[in-house]
Structure 1
Amino acid sequence: MFQLLWILLIGFILGVLAKLILRGPQAIPWWLTMLLGAAGALLGNLIAGWIGVRHTGGIDWIRHFLQIGCAVALVAVVAPAWSNSRTNR
């Protein structure tokens, strides 16, 4: 249970950071921001494991940058699609 709360909290933080890094407004709700951040964290972890930098001595900076990068990419792709789907209704 606590792991799920931790995933959602980190997902929200990564999603907000991704929205701050991107230029312009991203008109997506907070729950989608949280889900995209969590998905970015998962994708970043998978990529870090694939290239062999998931567990290093000290702070895993490369893994964290990959997580943020994946969250930014997901928000950059989903936010315009979300706003287009909302304006077409």
Structure 2
Amino acid sequence: MDISGLISALVVGIVIGALGRLVLPGRQQVGVVWTIVVGIVAALIGSGIAGAVGVADTKGFDWIELIIQVALAAVGVGALERARAGGRVRR
């Protein structure tokens, strides 16, 4: 992977991670760096799932792939939030 691929992954991670946080209700106590990491992982896994299902390469914008990626990012941010909360009870 060259430098443009890394920059693209970072930008996609930021966008997907931010969208994943936006669809979750309430305030998340997950930092920006973890949001980007979750977004990058969600983008990669979501692209793989979209490719396996056959919706990754469509004419125009790949809305279904984006929805899969954002849903995975929301799940990832939510899981990270629960893991960080540990035994604490939120009120």
> Which TM-score tier does this pair reach, normalised by the shorter chain?
0.7 to 0.9
CA distance in 2, matches of 1:67, 1:43: 7
Task: Tell me the residue number matched to 2:32.
Answer: 30
Task: Tell me the residue number matched to 1:14.
Answer: 16
TM-score by length of 2: 0.85
**Displacement after TM superposition at 1:44 (Å):** 0.8
TM-score by length of 1: 0.87
- Whether the 8 Å contact between 1:28 and 1:83 is mirrored in structure 2 is no
Q: Gapped runs of 5+ residues in structure 2?
A: none
Equivalent of residue 58 in structure 1, options 40, 49, 60: 60
Q: Gapped runs of 5+ residues in structure 1?
A: none
**Displacement after TM superposition at 1:84 (Å):** 2.5
Equivalent of residue 40 in structure 1, options 39, 42, 49: 42
**Displacement after TM superposition at 1:66 (Å):** 0.8
- Whether the 8 Å contact between 1:26 and 1:80 is mirrored in structure 2 is no
CA distance in 2, matches of 1:51, 1:43: 12
State the identity as a percent.
33
- Alignment pair present for 1:76 and 2:78: yes
CA distance in 1, matches of 2:84, 2:47: 25
CA distance in 2, matches of 1:15, 1:82: 17
Across the two proteins, how many residue pairs are aligned to each other?
86
CA distance in 1, matches of 2:82, 2:34: 13
Name the amino acid aligned to 2:61. Answer: I
Q: What is the RMSD of the two structures over their aligned residues, measured on CA atoms? A: 1.5
